[in-house]
Amino acid sequence: MNFIMTVKDAVAKRFEQLCDQRGICPNELATRAGVTPSTVYSMFDSSRQSIAVVTVKKLCDGLDITLAEFFSGPLFDELEQEIH
């Protein structure tokens, strides 16, 4: 069975990549973004179905990147269409 990546999965994966590139842990991301660590960890929870755009914006602010920078790249370009 092939894994179909959802938008939420791609968002979590992208933040994971950015944290790895910067050498920071989820707690540090939370501190930089002014959100609780549980907010960041819940994003990585596969049982959670979505993440709010305002949360994505805060996390991007914490990493000092724009939403455009966050969403540019193959992770989002290769997502399946949501409307079937």
1-48 tens-digit pLDDT: 456 788 999 999 999 999 999 999 999 999 999 999 999 999 989 888
Residue 4, pLDDT score: 77
47 domain-assigned: yes
Give the whole-angstrom CA distance, residue 81 versus residue 26: 29
25 domain-assigned: yes
54 domain-assigned: yes
39 domain-assigned: yes
Say what the pTM is.
0.88
1 domain-assigned: no
Greatest Cα pair distance, the chain, in angstroms, is 39
Q: Which amino acid is at 44?
A: F
DSSP letter (8 states) at residue 70: H
The 10s digit of each residue's pLDDT in 58-84 is 999 999 999 999 999 888 988 877 776
Domain range for 34 is 7-73
Asked whether the beta carbons of 73 and 28 are under 8 A apart, the reply is no
